[in-house]
Each structure stands twice: as structure tokens, then as C-alpha cells.
Amino acid sequence: DILQDVLRLISEEKQTGQQRAETIRQELINCVLNGKGLQEITTILYDNTHIPAAISDHNKQIRANQQFDRYFLDVLNGKENEAFQLVSPEPFSDHPLVHYIEKYEIGPHFCYQLTILSNYKKQGYLLFKPEEDQELSWVDLSILEHTLTACALYFVKENAIEMTEIRLKDNFLLELAKTEVDIDKSLLAKAHLLGYDLEKPYVCLVGDIRFKKQIDGPVGSEEHSVQSSSMHSRNYYIQKEVTHAGDVLKRQTMTTFDEGEVIVYIEADAKTYPETANQFLDLVERRLHELLAGITISWGVSCHKDGLYNFHQSYEEAATALNIGRQKHEDGDRTFFSDTRMNRLLMALSHEKEIEFIVQNTLEKLIEYDQRRQTDLIHTFIVYNKYNSNVSQTARALNLHRQSLLHRLRNIEQLTGLSLLDADDLFLLELSVRLWMLKKIEK
């Protein structure tokens, strides 16, 4: 009879604890579903267990704190020099959660940590520190388990909102850049909701992203080099540095990505926009080269517009400047649309049928010879012309013996029927090569 009464009381106590834990679980879930944050979650945990607790994200940034010793947090985040170590705690309960608890020892003191996971990804950490003589009961552990679930749900919700906002911003800016849209009140209002002010003057920068050497590996912290070139990681760090550079210069920025390109609009005025663009890109690239190994970005920069709302035209100008710059320079250079007048004039000429025929007739045999023999006579001529027909300088630049260069130059003359010593012939060949290269850009 005594055993029966004892077992009944134990069962009732256990059932009461389970009902209390279930009520708290429902309260935690409703807390997240009703749009409340991590601080409210820690408050519910503390009110029901009197266990000081803190929540951090995966970068160890504290997002909520309820009576948790701030000194411990500073030690764990490296702000204090005191040593700590992560150890496996002694099992103090048969609750399943015990197997996932980690213990930090800081001198004679300690605290516990649980990792917040969702979709098998580490989202953050739940830190808690019971009193020295306080033993965690089964109910306390159940409440901690429900708190962990609520934290995971919160981070999933936060990530979903963030990803939705990013997609909305990307689609909005791509439409603004790639199509002629009417900037009316409804579009201005939509931009305002996304955090953009379209009533400021902007110039457009289009960057072609390339990696000299791709290295696979985990993404490191923002303080260290990132050994990853995956598109998601790459775009995240570029976006982060664009925002940082805009903040430093106190300029509004808008950024999106499209098929290996980064499109940036930066607030600028008419007189100093080239200086502003260069300062901005210096800031972006200086930090990016530390964060993303081997990255190079070639940039095209549009002209400043007297009026507002020229987003599509600015993008077209920056894209044109980028294409022209890539043909003329090495990766990582910057080309301003205002500096491409000669190339744009040649582009306009290249569409004339008569000029197109002259170019084809002049270079046809030269192009066929290069393709058949796997040579590069056209490049040889470009370098020769760059050094004003100086054979010695051209040979050094091409790393060729003088006689080998002279042999190539004779081949060029034979294939084109032009003399490199005749000024008119030299001009015709240079013009034909430049028009042919511009045609390649358009293709």
C-alpha cells in the first residue's frame, strides 16, 4: 500500500511537470509566431527556471541576454584575456538533451552551451548557467529543450524574411537597370519600402567578377581570408563591402548581381563623380582582396546625369564601358564611359556596310592564318603599333628574338598586302584591327 501511494504521487508529480513543460512549450512557440524576438524567449526561460541565459548567432554575436554574466560572454568572445576550455560535462540526468550539452570552464567557474540547429545548419548558441549548487531537473531540461526549438524556429523565420527581402531587392534593381521603367509615385513608394531613395543622383558601376585561382574550403570569419569562391559566399562578401564603403563615404548605394556581374548604383554629384567612384572602388577592393582569395573585378563606370531617373541608361553606359575596357586592359581595371568616345565612334562606324566590307577584306587572310597556324599576328601588330613601330621595344614586350619579330611583320605585310612603313597603310590596318576587335566585343 505504501509503495502504491508513493508511485502514485511520483506519477502525479511527473505528470504535473510534463503539463507545465508543455504549457511553456506552447508559450515559447506562440512567442515566435506572434513576431516576438529572442529576448522574449530568454525571459520566458528565466521566469520559469530562474536559470540565467543568453542567445548568440553563429558568429557568437549576443542577440539576447537574461541575467547571464556579461564577463563570461566577453571571455568566450575573446574580449577578455582569461583562458577557457570546452569540456564534456559529467552526465547529471537521464534526459536526452544532456548528450548535446557542452560545458565551458572559465577558471573555477563554468557555464553550459547548446547549439541551435535548423536544417542541419548551425544557427547560433544557447548559453545558460545554473547556480553552483543547483541541479537541473527533468522539467528544467525539458524547458531548455523547448527553448532550443523556439530559437531554431526564430532563426528559420529570420532567414526566410531576409532571403525574401534580398530576392525582392535583386528583382527590383535588375528591372530598374535592364529595362526602361516609368519612375512614378508607386515605384518610388516601392523603392522606399525596400530602403532605396531613387530621388538622389546616382552613377552606375558594373563589375565583371573573376577568380585568378579558385580555392575550395569553408567560409571563415569576416576578420580572415575567405577560402571560398562559391557564388553565395562571393556575393555576400561583395555586398557587405559595397555597403561598408558607401557608409564610409556617406553615400547611398544599391547593389544587385546578374550572371557573374555586380551592378552598383552609388550616389554622386556631377563635378566629383569620377573621384567618388575611384574612392568607393578603392575601399571595396582593398577589403575584398583580403576576404576573397584571387578575386579580380573589372569595372565600367557610367557618366553622371544632370537629371534623375536615368537608371537604365546609366547601366547601358557602364556595361559598354566595361566591355570596351576588358578588350583593352588587364583584369581588374576601371573604364569610365566618358573615356570611351573614340571606341564608341568606331563602334558606330563598324555598322556601316562599306566599312565592314573594307575591314573584312583587309584582315580576312590575317585572321585565317592565325586560326590555321595557331599564331597571333594580330596581337603582334597591336603591340608593334603601341610602341610606335619600334622593333626593339616590341620584341622585348613580346619576349621574342628580333629576327622572329621581323619575320612576323613580313608575314603581316604579305597577308594584308599593306606596307608597315607606309603611313596610310599603317592607319588602315590599325583602324581595321580596332573595328574588328570592337565587333568581337559586341558578339
Q: Are residues 300 and 335 in contact, defined by beta-carbon separation less than 8 angstroms?
A: yes
Q: Please indicate whether the domains covering 179-339 and 347-442 agree at the CATH topology level.
A: no
CA–CA distances in Å: residue 55 to residues 52, 127, 135, 154? 11, 6, 21, 12
Instruction: For the full predicted model, state whether its pTM sits above 0.85.
Output: no
Q: Are residues 115 and 125 in contact, defined by beta-carbon separation less than 8 angstroms?
A: yes
From the candidate CATH numbers 3.40.720.10, 3.30.420.240, 3.30.70.260, 3.30.70.270, the one assigned to the domain spanning 179-339? 3.30.70.270
Pairing of strands 295-301, 334-336: parallel
Q: pLDDT tens digits, residue range 277-298?
A: 999 999 998 888 887 777 888 9
Q: Are residues 130 and 111 in contact, defined by beta-carbon separation less than 8 angstroms?
A: no
| 103 vs 93, higher pLDDT | 103
Tell me the fold of 15-152: Beta-Lactamase (3.30.450)
- Residue 136: pLDDT band by 50, 70, 90 thresholds? confident
Report d(CA 367, CA 375) in Å as an integer: 10
Please tell me the number of Cα atoms within 13 Å of 194 on its side-chain side. Answer: 23
Residue type, 355: I
Is the dihedral angle over the CA atoms 356, 362, 368, 370 positive or is it negative?
negative
- Residue ranges of domains in the chain: 15-152, 179-339, 347-442
Q: pLDDT tens digits, residue range 330-343?
A: 566 889 988 888 87
Q: Which long-range contacts (CB under 8 A, 24 or more apart) does 386-391 make?
A: 389/420, 389/426
Architecture of domain 347-442: Orthogonal Bundle (1.10)
